[in-house]
Chain A
Amino acid sequence: MESGIDLQGSLIDLLTNFGLPSEVAKVVWMPLPMLLMLVVATVGVLVAVWLERKISAAAQQRIGPEYAGPLGSLQPVADGLKLLFKEDIIPNRADPWLFTIGPALVVIPVFLSYLIVPFGQNLVITDLGIGAFLWIALSSITPIGLLMSGYSSNNKYALLGGLRAAAQSISYEIPLALSVLAIVMMSNSLSTIDIVEQQSGYGILSWNVWRQPVGFIIFWVAALAETERLPFDLPEAEEELVAGYQTEYAGMKFALFYLGSYVNLVLSALLFAVFYLGGWSFPVPVEAIAGWLGLSEMSPWVQVVTASLGITMVLLKTYLLVFLAILLRWTVPRVRIDQLLNLGWKFLLPVSLANLLITAGLKLAFPVAFGG
């Protein structure tokens, strides 16, 4: 595989040409991708919120947001601004410190997980050797924040919601991790870049969906439960718990929870696309197309086209999955807490274990198809 565009190298070269020492140039480079990723994540959330509202409206034969911006696309911005300017309320007899730290603890790990999300061969903040594992580890911090905000709100619904959220997210982490493990076993690496590399080659045919159909479904169910999307949104079930751990929150702290849940949804969809749908690869391998057209892969504009096609593909797959999540939200009724735990522990866990075992067996039997 070619190295593709090296933005970091180019920028550092540029800055050193201006007479800066190379170390300083590196320091100048470092925050740029992080800032870019923060902006991308936030804008991704805005798009996801808008999609959610529009698609929900369409599914219920409504129109949805209409007047703020073209097709109501500025509605999430307006909502965010409104929440930003609202009074920051800390309830009487609540624990002010924990109450404030809680939402931050929920949001920070989710944003940190964007470290490992690749949009292209070199379009990732860091290609960590433990990429997928880092995501699972970081997502396990979130329940602490939920418990913290649930406890500190001094409200029984908030506490119940926090406990439920923690129970749900630790029990669905296991099938999630096991289905990721099957993928990792096939690609011999935890790095998200390597996982996508392993799926390139034959275009759509070499994507992991075909090799891991069971893992595909388990991952999606578990990811929905992790992000507390609707069939599994018991922690904030309106009919039972008012709003769960968010009950006492208002203003920017509530906005953090809201942001966190949507960032988490987009992140899950992104990683789902990376793990199962070939990440940035086009359904037909780009190298093959370049070969047919008689173009050199190394020529600069082909590189630019390939990179932008990659980003488009990742986003397309991600928002397709977000769309699926929204559609599921209006299709499947909410499960009860015992049904939720039954599904997690008695169905998904054994099935994902069996999936892992079968994957290992297939890997030994057919090392060509399942990554030797």
Chain B
Amino acid sequence: MESTYQAERDLIAEYARLDADDPARSKVREALIVIHQPLVRHLAQRYANRGEPLDDLIQAGSIGLINAVDRFDPAQSDSFTSFAMATILGEIRKHFRETAWSIKVPRRLQELSREVNQVRGSLEQSLRRSPTVAEIAQALDRTTEDVLDALEAAQAYRLSSLDIPEQPLEVSEQDRSIAAVLNRGELGPALASLTQRDRELLTLRFVEEKSQAQIAELLSMEQSQVSRQIARILSRMRDQLLDNH
């Protein structure tokens, strides 16, 4: 392990030292790409059970790796591996953004899902409450089964794409506190991927032990919105834990 690490450092240093038109540079570049292929495979496998073929994920990740090799600047960053991980995950994420809908969900459901979301929003405004499934169906001249299918499809899409981190994440003290209270030390990275608003909700509820009603008042939300939001954050983190196992 030590020697692999040293070999990597030597290659990176050599790559940075060689001029762009030096023929030796392309050999070093190739070697860097080859020794980091296992990292691409490892990261791709973490997202392999989301309806995308593993080979496609590896291919997307490999593009990220090549970009990482070409863009890495040792003067700016110590660790090539951290830099490469961010770039590889970025490409895998981009691949999901561009293709996950079309592969996992038929086009007619994608379109219907968008329509359902629009109508749901406008009905919420006019009714001042969440609409029923029948009300959405009526507004769209569709069946309630169609609306349920569209809601399920939207859920599948959210699960497949949105929880892939943009970059390697640093686990903050606040994240560690939440993980400790939930008795889940391994939640650290999942917590680090949350928005500040979501993190604040979890801190108020589990670290400061405020009731849902107190949080609702503090953040000017409905209590039902507080419980919904916290439940969804936790559920999403559970999915991430499963993926990482």
Pairing of A with B: no
Chain B residues in contact with chain A, CB under 8 A?
none
Chain A residues in contact with chain B, CB under 8 A?
none
